Amino acid sequence: MLWWSNVFFVALAATFVGLAFWQAAVLVQVIQAGFSTHPNIVLLTNSQGQVISSWKDGHWAPLGSPWSAGVGMLGIPVPGYLGTLHMQWTSSSVRQAFWRAERERLPILLFVLLLVGGVGWFTQNLLRQLIRLRQYQAVTLLVQQDLLSQDNPQAMYQRLVDNVVAQTEAIGAYVIARELEGPFLTIQAMADADDDPLSDRAVPVRYPVQGICPTIVAGEVFRTGLQQGPLNPSSSALTQDVNDDRSVFDRVRSVMAIPVFVGGGEIPFVVLVIESEEIQHFTRSLQETLKQLATSLGLGLSRYFEQRELEQAKAEIENLARHDMLTHLPNRRFLEEQLEQAMARAERHGKLLAVCMLDLDGFKPVNDAYGHEAGDEVLVTLGKRLPEALRKSDFVARLGGDEFVLLVEDLSGPNDLTPILAKVEETMNTPIPLSHGEIVQISGSMGIALYPFGKEETGDQLLRSADHALYESKSHKADRAHFWVILGD
C-alpha cells in the first residue's frame, strides 16, 4: 500500500515541476511575441559601444540625453552600419504584457492545481481507509486465533478487550455480563489505554446498571437485545446524567455497545462496550469489524460450552458404564480396575488386601413378601450405608443381584479386619424402613480372600477364592462364630 502512495507523490512533484517549466516558457513567448515590436527605449551604439542616438517615448532624443536601465535588452546589429541597435523594456510593460497573456492560461492553471489537490486528498483518504481496513482485518484474524487457543471464557474476554484497545485506537473496552437477579452487572474483563484505577481492580467487578457509562449502555443492550451507539455520552439522553468518576471518562466522546449471542440465543450472553476519545471514531468499517469480533466471541463461547457439555456427557456415559444403575455403586467393570490397582499398592507398600464378597441373607423373602420394588429399596439403602461403614480408602461395589464386593486395603494382618467387619455387620443388621411403611431386617454372609497371602496372582483368582470362602460361610450359618469366613483360616 505504501509504494502506491510514494508513486503518487512522485507524480505530484513531477506535475508541479512541469507547471513551472510551462510558466517559464510562457514568459519567453510573451517577451518574444509582444515586446519585440513595442520597446520602450531604443539605443543606437557605435562599434565602441558608445550611444550615438536614442529613441524614447515616441521620438528621438538629443545626444547625451539620460536614460534608465530597463528589465531586459535585446541587441540587433544594423546591416551596412558598424553599430548595434538596442531595444529595452520597463518592468511595468513586462508585467502588463505577461498578465495579458496569462489571463487566458490562469483558469487552466488553477483548475489543474485544484484537480491535483483534490486527487491528492482523495488518494490520501482512500489510502488511510485501506490501511485501517487491513489493520481491522488483521485484528479480526488475530482475535479469532486467540479465541480458539483460550480454554475458558475469562481468558477469551480479556484477550478480546486487550486486542480492541491495542489495535483499534480505542481508550477503553469492556466485556460485561448480567447477573440472573438484581440490578447489577459484572465487568468480566477490561482494558484501558490509561492507568485508570478501575483497570487495577481484579475482575469480575460488580456494578449497578446505572453505575458507570459502560454498564449503562450494556444494560440497555441487555434490555433491548440491540446494539447501542455509537453515541456521545455527554449529549445522549441515555448517559448524559451518568455519575462516572473514572479518570478516562473525561476523554470519552463516543461509546458503542454490541451484544454477544451464544448458541443461537435471542438474549445477549455478554455485551462488548468500546469507548473512544474521537466523536467520529466508529467508522462503518470499524463498526463492522467490532461486530465480527463480537460474533467471533459468541462462536468461541459456543464452542467452549459445547465442548464442556460433550465432556460432561462423555464423563456421565463413562460413569454409567462403571456404576450400577440401581445403587449407583461401582459395578464389576469398575471393581476389576480398582482391584488391579489395589493389588499393586499392596505389593508396593507391603500390606494386605482383603477381597470380601458379601451375599445378603433373607433378601429373597423380602422380594416374595413385598415385591421387587421393596427389594430394590433394600439394595439402595445398603448401597448408601455400606460405604459409610468403611474407611475412605476402602472400596465397595455391587456385582449384581444381592451380591457386593468390599476391598479393604492397608492391613497389617487378618486381625485388622475384625473391627471393620464388625461395623459392616452392624450396618447390615440395622432395620430398613420401606416406602409403604414396613420395616425389614436382613443379615449377610461374607467370604474373604487375602492378598498377597495364598496362591492367587490375579484379580479374577482373588474373586473366585472369595466366592469359595463365601460358600463356606453360608454352609456353616448355624455354627459359625462370625458372619464372615477367611479362606484358609
Task: List pLDDT tens digits, range 47-66.
Answer: 666 766 666 666 666 666 66
The pLDDT score that the predictor gives to residue 260 is: 95
The pLDDT score that the predictor gives to residue 130 is: 61
Statement: residue 196 has pLDDT above 60: no
Question: Could you tell me the CA-to-CA distances from 412 to 138, 291, 338, 425 in Å, in that order?
Answer: 67, 68, 20, 21
Neighbour tally for 107: CB within 10 Å: 9
Pick the more confident residue, 227 or 119: 227
For 150-307, CATH number out of 3.40.640.10, 3.40.50.300, 3.30.450.40, 3.40.50.10210 equals 3.30.450.40
DSSP state letters, 468-480: HHHHHHHHTTTT-
pLDDT, mean of residues 275-283: 90
Q: How confident is the model at residue 205 (pLDDT cuts 50, 70, 90)?
A: confident
Q: How confident is the model at residue 2 (pLDDT cuts 50, 70, 90)?
A: very low
Contact 430, 421 (CB under 8 A): no
Statement: residue 373 has pLDDT above 60: yes
Statement: residue 418 has pLDDT above 70: yes
Q: How confident is the model at residue 376 (pLDDT cuts 50, 70, 90)?
A: very high
- Reduced to 3 states (helix: H, G, I; strand: E, B; else coil), residue 172 is strand
- In 38-80, which ranges are continuous DSSP H helix? none
- Reduced to 3 states (helix: H, G, I; strand: E, B; else coil), residue 208 is strand
Cα 299 from chain centroid (whole Å): 10
Task: List pLDDT tens digits, range 158-189.
Answer: 988 998 888 888 999 999 999 877 788 999 99
Q: What is the rounded distance in angstroms from the CA atom of residue 454 to the CA atom of residue 450?
A: 7
Q: How confident is the model at residue 277 (pLDDT cuts 50, 70, 90)?
A: very high
Contact 457, 464 (CB under 8 A): no
The pLDDT score that the predictor gives to residue 33 is: 54
Closest CA to 205 of 170, 224, 179, 236: 179
The pLDDT score that the predictor gives to residue 387 is: 95
pLDDT, mean of residues 141-155: 77
Largest Cα–Cα distance in the chain?
A: 171
What fold characterizes domain 332-486? Alpha-Beta Plaits (3.30.70)
| Residue recorded with cell 454498564 | 215
Pick the more confident residue, 331 or 477: 331
For the chain, report the end-to-end CA distance as a whole number of angstroms: 91
The pLDDT score that the predictor gives to residue 16 is: 59
Lowest mean pLDDT among 17-31, 194-208, 248-262, 363-377: 17-31
Task: List pLDDT tens digits, range 78-130.
Answer: 666 666 766 666 666 666 666 666 666 667 767 777 777 777 666 666 666 56
Statement: residue 262 has pLDDT above 80: yes
The pLDDT score that the predictor gives to residue 454 is: 75
Lowest mean pLDDT among 4-18, 207-221, 359-373: 4-18
Q: How confident is the model at residue 234 (pLDDT cuts 50, 70, 90)?
A: confident
Q: What's the chain's average pLDDT?
A: 82
CA angle 241, 245, 249 (to 5 degrees): 80
Pick the more confident residue, 5 or 106: 106
Statement: residue 40 has pLDDT above 70: no
Torsion of CA 282, 285, 288, 294, to 10 degrees: -60
Q: What are the residue boundaries of the structural domains of the chain, listed by start?
A: 2-117, 150-307, 332-486
The pLDDT score that the predictor gives to residue 243 is: 84
The pLDDT score that the predictor gives to residue 35 is: 47
Contact 445, 474 (CB under 8 A): yes
Q: How confident is the model at residue 1 (pLDDT cuts 50, 70, 90)?
A: very low
Task: List pLDDT tens digits, range 377-392.
Answer: 999 999 999 999 999 9
